Structure 1
């Protein structure tokens, strides 16, 4: 019988190489969540400003009549 050899061991994606050296999964998830929340807050602020501008335009148009 022929035995299949196991493939050589590959380093995990969480190995100690690259810019994220030594970071745990929890740390990566926490920083990703923080970035996502900041992005969503910025989007909401942008929508609020756009809505405020639209309301101001609407108010001036109705005042003209």
Structure 2
């Protein structure tokens, strides 16, 4: 019975670690998508103004 509890605990720890990694990755992706989108939008306007 104790083997099952320790096995479940390690499984929970692994799942918790994976969730943390996933959260960090998603936050990083969100920041990357938010920042360049506004910058590229501004640069597109300046390119259009310069070209036209």
Unmatched runs of 5 consecutive residues or more in structure 2:
44-52
TM-score, length-scaled by structure 2: 0.74
Cα shift at 1:38: 0.6
RMSD: 1.2
Specify the alignment match of 1:31 in structure 2. Answer: 9
Matched, 1:48 2:26: yes
TM-score, length-scaled by structure 1: 0.61
Specify the alignment match of 1:64 in structure 2. Answer: 42
Q: Give SS of 1:51's match.
A: helix
Q: Distance in 2 between matches of 1:41 and 1:54?
A: 20
Aligned length: 43
Unmatched runs of 5 consecutive residues or more in structure 1:
1-22
